[in-house]
Structure 1
Amino acid sequence: MSMIGKYLRLAPAQLERASRDPDWAAEHAHGLYARDDAAAAARVHETDKAWHALDFLLTRRGFPVDVVFGEADMPWPAGRDWGYGPPRLLSADRVRAAADALDAHAPDVLAGGVTPADLAAANIYPQTVWERGEDPAWVGSHWAALAGYLRAAARDGDALLIWVS
């Protein structure tokens, strides 16, 4: 089983409801992921197995917002696990800050100067990919897709729930 980075856009009213009702948040997220239509697809996003490499590369480049793990815990009781821990929040203000910083962190240069051996040595998931010597440039395509998703969320004033499952 793979570890996949997942995202859910929440409008302000949805964020308020999710903050009070974690069961609703989980049902809402899983319901959108189960649907196969454009409206649902616009609300969710996945970075597949690139999430850990994205974190490594963005941190290395000094990206100012944690768009891989989120920046705040949800105010839920302990034990709300959506895969590999509970989802974390990226507030609408921080989504906007991320969108504002995107131009300085282009996908085509994200992995510049980083070798597969660097990622393997740093124990970046999925480590077997780096041990085989695969070029980390493929992570840039996931960054480009995430950047588009962040821009859309910022445009609409949405917050994000972020988790790995």
Structure 2
Amino acid sequence: MSMNGEYLRLTPAELKRALADAEWALELAEEAQDEQDEDDGGEGRWFSTGQTWNLLAFLLRRAEFPVDLVFGEETLTEEEWGYGKPRYLTPERVRLAADALGRTSYDRLVHGLDPAELTEAEVYPLIWDEPAALDWARDDFGSLVAYVRGAAADGDALVLWID
């Protein structure tokens, strides 16, 4: 079984409801995931970075990205969804992330990175001895950028969790 980075777009009113009723939000996330094609290019309500979440987290931390775009920043509920508590980004933080992504390319994120650093940091999954390993998350990063920009354009919040 693998660990996957998961995202759910919520309007501000839906975020308010989710904070009051996290079970409702989990049901909404599960419905959105069931209804949506995973390969939609990041344009739906639900999005997944698949197993690239830990690499993306490492790269964004390394680049001192201003928003925690993999784990979120505020706890939605004390109940665990998958591998921990879901967290969220307010619409304002989503806009900040979208703006920062406009100045961040995948090539910039991996520039100068030695794959051995990923192995040493135990970045999941441990595949960093492969020649093209650093390119593995390129497409997921591009889709994440599109997803976050879409959420920001619509004024949405994001709920994030590892499942």
Unaligned runs of 5+ in 1: none
User: What residue in structure 2 maps to residue 164 of structure 1?
Assistant: 162
Shift of 1:108: 2.8
TM-score (ref. length: structure 1): 0.90
Question: Residue in 1 aligned with 2:133?
Answer: 135
Q: How much has 1:36 moved relative to structure 2?
A: 3.7
The 2-side partners of 1:70 and 1:156 are apart by 19
- 1:71-97 deviation per Cα after TM superposition (whole angstroms, max 9, x unaligned): 1112x3x3x111001110111100000
Q: Greater helix share, 1 or 2?
A: 1
Equivalents in 1 of 2:129, 2:99: separation in Å?
35
Q: What is the letter of the counterpart of residue 141 of structure 1?
A: D
- Sequence identity percentage: 45
Shift of 1:65: 0.6
* Runs of 5+ unmatched residues, structure 2: none
The reply to whether residue 15 of structure 1 matches residue 35 of structure 2 is: no
Instruction: Give the drift of 1:24.
Output: 0.5
1:73 maps to which of 72, 75, 81: 75
Contact 1:117 1:133 in 2 (8 A): no
Structural RMSD (CA)? 1.7
Tell me the equivalent position of 2:108.
109
Q: Which runs of 4+ in 1 moved over 6 A?
A: none
> In 1, are the aligned partners of 2:4 and 2:48 still within 8 Å (CA)?
yes
Aligned length: 160
Residue 158 to residue 95, structure 1, CA distance change in 2 (3 Å): same
The Cα offsets for residues 10-68 of structure 1, whole Å up to 9 and x where unpaired, read as 00111111111111011000011011467xx6101100111011011111111111000
- Tell me the CA shift for residue 113 of structure 1: 1.2
What does residue 87 of structure 1 align with? 86
Q: Deviations over 1:69-127 (max 9, x none)?
A: 001112x3x3x111001110111100000011112211233211112211101110001
- Counterpart in 1 of 2:144? 146
Supply the distance in 1 between the matched residues of 2:150 and 2:130 (Cα, whole angstroms).
35
Aligned to 1:121: 120
- Using a 3 Å threshold, how does the CA distance of structure 1 residues 6 and 42 change in structure 2: closer, same or farther? same
What is the letter of the counterpart of residue 162 of structure 1?
Answer: L
**SS of 1:9 mapped into structure 2:** strand
